[in-house]
A and B are shown apart, each in its own frame.
Chain A
Amino acid sequence: MAAMISTAQAGSLGDAAVAAFDRKRRLAFTVPAVVLLYLTYVFFAFDIPGIVANARTDNAAILLSDFWSYKTHVTRDNRTGNVTVAIEGENKGTYPPGRLPDWVGMQDGVTRIDLGKGYEVVYEGEGARFTVPDYGVIRVEPEGRGIRLELPEGEVPSWINASSARVTATTPQGRFSMTRNRTETFRYEPGWELFFFTLDSPFSGRSVPELAGLAVSGERIDPARPNIAYMLSEFWTNKMWRHGDVAWALFETVLMAFLGTMGAALVALPLAFLAASNFTPARIVRFALRRVFDFVRGVDGLIWTIILSRAFGPGPLTGSLAILMTDTGSFGKLFSEALENIDRKQVEGVQSTGASPIQQARFGVMPQIVPVLLSQVLYFLESNTRSATVIGAIVGGGIGLLLTQAIITQKDWEEVSYYIILIVLMVMAMDSLSGWLRGLLIGRAGRT
């Protein structure tokens, strides 16, 4: 009898197990199939093949080469015959008259540009010639309203692009191009140009030991202040890289994150008491506050940012307030949940000594929730540093603004790289800072 029951049980157990396996097997098959189906749909909805076909690989090349190198333009205005040497072709990077890089020589109206490894461009008279080792000499002369090109015998190689109006020769050592109005040579060099001092600074073009010598001893260049102070101020006000402005922008971003997060925590804490069921018996208050939190959170940071920037104009304050608004909702929800989960006994203990409600909250409740709150706040602080970058791009403040501006001009990619590196360092620093503070504050709160 007993044995029969047990076999019957075993049978039904076995059936159940088989059914469970079947369900699992079906699930294991359906889930990946659904995911795959979804990805296929998105593949076509986002038109991935079209995007791959239109990807700008030339832009990628520009970006990569700008990241680690810079170019110097040697430009001749063919109508006046004036030759200018300018880093990245910018006004701020133009060599002053009488001072040239050592690879450019100007004498009697002839400009020699040594591109290294035997590559040489010479601007002479109205024309120019480009000597390319293992190929020969490319000669270009103006003719009528266009230009005339003379090449060595043989087929025109693919790196020369020639028409009657324009000639471009791209070599690993540099690029040469000429039109009727303009002759231009680019020389590429590794590094970020003028990162420390611009050309108009007395410190530009000096070697590191020389600079160190000047900083420590040496005669004062500006009699009013020591060389080291002068050097720092020249670096700080560098017109090309604007280190001072960039530092301010970084600081502004961190400021936005700090003010927004801490302000939100300060606003949310008292409200959270009102929204927690064990502190506020009035249902209606709780309900209303919770809906307010949901509303503030639901009206996304993006919408708050837009509304606030209309009222307060662009700047860091707007960004801080946008973060403050959104996070008040999140903190209110998190804090009130933390408050509802506290241990009632400690509060009763404090109450039994005759403490007022405020004192109960201070000594019975706060010690319990402070570690939870602090760790939440510090976590938000770190993640808001990243949000502040994006919000800065919208409200026009901080490093986000500089980054979007630099990207929109689509030319100063070395600046973009500089900003990106700084942003990543800033976020990492805030990450470690918040981790360190968490350890310090919660470690101490935990001991008490």
Chain B
Amino acid sequence: MTDTASARSGDIRADYLAHARQRQMYSGILLLVFTLLMLSGFQLADARNAGGFWTGIHQFFDFPSEVVSEAIAKAGNLPGLMWTFLPSLIETINIAGVATLIGACGGALLSLLSTRGLARFPALIPVFRRLMDAMRAIPEIVIALVLIFLLGGGPVPAMIAIAFHTTGALGKLFSEVSENADRKPVEGLASAGASWSQSMWLGVLPQVMPNWLSYALLRFEINVRASAILGFVGSGGIGYDLKTAMQWGQGRYDQVVAIFLLLFATIVVIDQVSSHFRHKLVKGH
């Protein structure tokens, strides 16, 4: 009796040890593969780069110090330059703001249409989901560059591009929230004869609004960065000014610094404000 028990416990121990060894081996192999991938990847990237890593690392501070020293020499210009670039900064923020607004509205609609139990046309749920996936998958730069060809420069191509992507991204996050919404208010409203839009407006939106707003604020933060980058690649906003100043090179580094400072301050402020409000929205008061 005790023999069998101890034998069984011995089995279990052996099993456990074997299992643990196997797991350790798997994690070891995984780690090895990962390390090899990283190393060879960096080597490959280094080989295909115009300048090597080890030669470049010494020059890392050359450009910033060159820029900063010129800016310090012309420090008196900075406030004036910041004032000059303020309209472009506002344009960049406006691009992000409008894109977030449009994207949030579109995303809200798509998410409600693709949430099980809330959808207006249940048969079309997969269609709306795939639509959101596709909208998320297309990088903003693709749409922006094509639209610049069609609409010319300016802020609108970037705005449409970001709004398009935001619709898909927020739609997915929104639908995760609305999936967890309580269905009882909707049923109550439906029994009182409310239409679909009424039951969404009065039954679902009040429940999901705090989380939705929090996601939208986070997205706004991301979109400000995206709109600065798109300005650099395409046109419009402060990114474009940065590109022109950079292309001019030496002699305009005070402008570069002014734009860097503006952009940095904006991103930090928006980051802080949005995280404050998001905290308030999600945790409640």
Contacts and interface: CB of A to CB of B under 8 A. Distances in A.
B140 interface: yes
Interface in A392-415: 393-394, 396-397, 400, 403-404, 407, 410
Contact of A300 (B23, B48, B50, B267): B267
A416 B146 contact: yes
A2 B267 CA distance: 59
Interface residues of B, number: 61
Given A54-B152, A56-B150, A431-B137, A298 B267 contact: yes
Interface string A56-71: 1001100100000000
Contact of A310 (B34, B62, B133, B149): B62
A315 B267 contact: no
Interface string A219-239: 000000000000000000000
A374 to B, nearest CB: 12
A124 B231 CA distance: 53
B244 to A, nearest CB: 13
Nearest to B98: A42
A307 interface: yes
B56 to A, nearest CB: 4
Contacts of B149: 56, 59, 63, 407, 410
A8 interface: no
Contacts of A258: 37, 41
B91 interface: yes
B139 A312 contact: no
Contacts of A262: 34, 38
Contacts of A428: 133, 137
A386 B139 contact: yes
A306 B57 CA distance: 15
Contacts of B142: 389, 403, 420, 423
Contacts of A407: 145-146, 149
B156 A46 contact: yes
A423 B139 contact: yes
B279 to A, nearest CB: 12
B14 interface: no
Contacts of A420: 138, 142, 146
B134 A424 contact: yes
Contacts of A386: 139-140
Interface string A299-316: 111110011101111111
B38 A263 contact: yes
B268 A294 contact: yes
Nearest to B226: A390
B141 A51 contact: no
A266 B37 CA distance: 14
Interface string B171-207: 0000000000000000000000000000000000000
Q: What bracket does the count of chain A residues touching chain B fall in?
A: 35 or more
A420 B141 CA distance: 10
Interface in B232-252: 232-233, 239, 242, 246
B263 interface: yes
Contact of A60 (B50, B53, B150): B150
Interface in B137-170: 137-142, 145-146, 149-152, 154-156, 159
Given A300-B263, A302-B229, A317 B46 contact: yes
Contacts of A396: 50
A441 B80 CA distance: 54
Contacts of A316: 44-45, 48-49
Most chain B Cβ neighbours within 10 Å, of A47, A263, A300, A318: A300
Contacts of B146: 63, 407, 416, 420
Contacts of B48: 252, 315-317, 397
Nearest to A312: B56
B214 interface: no
B204 to A, nearest CB: 16
Contacts of B150: 55-56, 59-60, 63
A55 B45 contact: no
Given A46-B155, A315-B45, A299 B233 contact: no
A427 to B, nearest CB: 4
Contact of B59 (A35, A48, A311, A416): A311
Contacts of A266: 38
Nearest to A389: B139
A410 B42 CA distance: 34
Given A56-B151, A255-B44, A317-B53, A297 B139 contact: no
Interface string B73-104: 00000000000000000010010011001000
Contact of B51 (A56, A302, A313): A313
Interface centre among A294, A393, A403 (most CB of B within 10 A): A393
A422 B221 CA distance: 28
A39 interface: yes
B225 A315 contact: no
A315 B229 CA distance: 18
Interface in A275-322: 294, 297-303, 306-308, 310-318, 320
Given A301-B229, A306-B242, 15 more contacts: A38-B97, A46-B154, A55-B152, A59-B150, A259-B41, A294-B268, A299-B264, A302-B232, A311-B51, A311-B59, A312-B52, A315-B45, A315-B48, A390-B139, A420-B138
12 contacts: A262-B34, A299-B260, A311-B62, A312-B49, A315-B48, A317-B42, A317-B49, A320-B42, A390-B230, A407-B146, A423-B138, A424-B138
